[in-house]
Amino acid sequence: MWRDSVDSLITAAARALAAGDPLGALNRVALREDAPALALRGIAMAQLGDLVRARALLRRAARAFGPSEVVARARCVVAETEVALAARDLGWPARALEAARATLEEHGDRANAAHARYLEVRRLLLIGRIDEAEPTLGQLDPAPFSPASRIAHELVVAGIAMRRLRTKVARAALARAKRAAGHARIPALTAEVENAALALKTPAARLIARGGERLLVLDEVEALLASRALVVDACRRVVRDACTVVSLTRRPVLLRSPARSARPGPPTSPGTCW
């Protein structure tokens, strides 16, 4: 993040962090209290999993940078936002990230501005606003990203695709993420890609039909919803077939009636509940 610094130790620490070596970074700046060192220490602590200390260091760094160092302070905001998302803290002010991104774009720091945009998409995904996350993600070109940033981008693509039940798109994104992880050679990111891939193999729904039950993975759920079957979707509270979706979110009594007919027992309806 601070490649423009002429300080050799700062430059070496930044390179260590980019290579996934937080301990190597800390060895170079652990005893320093200047703003760039505080920021790099914060990122190193985040990579080591100490998110509370990471946020405290990044806030100290933002305060330590002078009023004229707007780009550096904006980078601190982006880094702190990433730590907050890792901690699943969605209470931070989204406008601060938007302002930081605008500052970075204004000053030509396209890489960090793109990363800020990715964090906006990731937040939208976490709070379930997929309809907003998807077009925002489409505005990003991952080609100039570093391997680590490309991994993050593809994981978000896969996450949206899984929620949309587009398993082929999700598999393609995870394959690209795996290739990028091979270039990045950062164990934590490789593990994150592997964990995301497990979601395609993990049961995602329970099918109840004609007196029987079985678990379904996402591929099977996608195939079921594309079939001609009448499906009582108890997760989304809708009744649907391949062409029509009827929401029963505000009509729980109507939802319970077809769902009850699909429960184990004498079959009374061809409906399917999952």
**CATH assignment at residue 122:** 1.25.40.10
Residue 70 lies in a domain: yes
Asked if residue 101 and residue 160 are part of one domain, the reply reads: yes
Q: What is the CA 136 to chain-centroid distance, rounded?
A: 13
CB 139 within 8 A of CB 101: no
Residues 6+ apart with CB under 8 A from 66: none
In three-state secondary structure terms, 214 is strand
Quick one: which of 96, 92, 145 has its CA closest to 118? 145
Asked if residue 81 and residue 38 are part of one domain, the reply reads: yes
**pLDDT top residue among 254 and 274:** 254
Asked if residue 107 and residue 40 are part of one domain, the reply reads: yes
Asked if residue 180 and residue 164 are part of one domain, the reply reads: yes
Asked if residue 224 and residue 175 are part of one domain, the reply reads: no
Residue 1 lies in a domain: no
Total number of domains constituting the chain = 2
3-class SS shares of the chain: helix, strand, coil, % to 5: 60, 10, 30
Measure the CA–CA gap between 59 and 94, rounded to whole angstroms.
16
CB 46 within 8 A of CB 82: yes
Residue 51 lies in a domain: yes
Average pLDDT over residues 153-181: 93
Measure the CA–CA gap between 86 and 138, rounded to whole angstroms.
23
Summarize pLDDT for 6-57 with one digit per residue, the tens: 488 999 999 998 888 899 999 999 989 999 999 999 999 998 989 999 999 9
pLDDT at residue 227, rounded to an integer:
84
Per-residue pLDDT band at 80 (split at 50, 70, 90)? very high
Counting residues of the chain whose pLDDT is more than 90, the rounded percentage is 45
- What does the mean pLDDT of the chain come to? 84
Asked if residue 268 and residue 188 are part of one domain, the reply reads: no
CB 156 within 8 A of CB 136: no
Summarize pLDDT for 96-128 with one digit per residue, the tens: 999 999 999 999 998 889 889 889 998 998 888
Asked if residue 65 and residue 190 are part of one domain, the reply reads: yes
- Domain end point (choices 159, 179, 198): 198
Residues 6+ apart with CB under 8 A from 60: 38, 42
Phi, psi for 98 (deg, rounded to 5): -60, -40
Sheet with 231-233, edge to edge strand ranges: 212-216, 205-209, 272-273, 231-233, 238-240, 245-247
- Domain end point (choices 198, 225, 254): 198
Evaluate if residue 268 carries a pLDDT over 80: no
- Domain end point (choices 198, 218, 243): 198
Residues 6+ apart with CB under 8 A from 106: none
Residue 261's domain spans which residues? 205-273
Residue 72 lies in a domain: yes
Asked if residue 190 and residue 80 are part of one domain, the reply reads: yes
pTM: 0.74
Evaluate if residue 63 carries a pLDDT over 90: yes
Residue 188 lies in a domain: yes
